[in-house]
Chain A
Amino acid sequence: EPEVTQTPSHQVTQMGQEVILRCVPISNHLYFYWYRQILGQKVEFLVSFYNNEISEKSEIFDDQFSVERPDGSNFTLKIRSTKLEDSAMYFCASSPAGVRRSGKLFFGSGTQLSVL
């Protein structure tokens, strides 16, 4: 069964450094998302992406964050200058038809980001 792939599974970085989290969504999916989960807390929406542009972003997704689909397969989340509070599990997800229509988002296994 096709799956969403995220790399790396763990990332450790120093505060103030830039990190790029990588995702390969399922190949025929059109909608892409990033969510995050701080340890012990809810899963939180960050951003949705469709047709090569951001379709929605949350209040968490400030100027420090950016997303890109540099080619036909990868979808990346960049944090420009990491802060301690950015430490979390970051999930990439994709869906064929968007949340409005279908019920199903396919999530990756996540990247655990630790900012020291």
Chain B
Amino acid sequence: AQKITQTQPGMFVQEKEAVTLDCTYDTSDPSYGLFWYKQPSSGEMIFLIYQGSYDQQNATEGRYSLNFQKARKSANLVISASQLGDSAMYFCAMRARETSGSRLTFGEGTQLTVNP
């Protein structure tokens, strides 16, 4: 069965510094995708970044990058130059063919607080 784990319930970072949010996963499917979503206090889920299991390079989207270490089964999100507006809950998620591939399995989330 597929599993996503986020071991940091809360993280704090100073404005303008970089922060890494951890995510490990487990699946027996060689083809899978990894996602990060941001959920601000208003509640909506905002897509940040995607990494496919066969992608050769780590994904990047602006200030977001995904540190994909396949052998370690980790997909950590790196936010560079943190801003106050980055304070939110962050979810790692995975899709795999084990469940027909149409569902995302989410981790428990990490609450990020950016301090001024």
Chain A residues proximal to chain B, CB less than 8 Å: 31, 33, 35, 42-45, 48, 50, 55-56, 58, 89, 91, 93, 98-100, 102-110, 112
Contacts and interface: CB of A to CB of B under 8 A. Distances in A.
B107 A98 contact: no
B50 A99 contact: no
- Where chain A touches its partner, the secondary structure class is strand
Contacts of A102: 50
B47 A43 contact: no
Contacts of A93: 45
A48 B43 contact: no
Given A42-B107, A103-B33, A104-B50, A55 B44 contact: no
A42 B103 contact: no
Nearest to B108: A42
A91 B106 contact: no
Contacts of A89: 43
B99 interface: yes
Interface residues of B, number: 28
Contact of B43 (A31, A56, A106, A110): A110
A109 B43 contact: yes
Given A43-B45, A108-B44, A109-B44, A100 B108 contact: no
Nearest to B51: A103
A43 B91 contact: yes
28 contacts: A33-B103, A42-B106, A42-B107, A43-B45, A45-B104, A45-B105, A48-B102, A55-B102, A56-B103, A91-B45, A99-B95, A99-B101, A99-B102, A99-B103, A100-B95, A100-B97, A100-B101, A100-B102, A102-B50, A103-B35, A103-B51, A103-B52, A104-B50, A105-B35, A105-B104, A107-B46, A109-B44, A110-B44
B104 A99 contact: yes
A106 B49 CA distance: 12
B109 A56 contact: no
B109 to A, nearest CB: 7
A99 B45 CA distance: 16
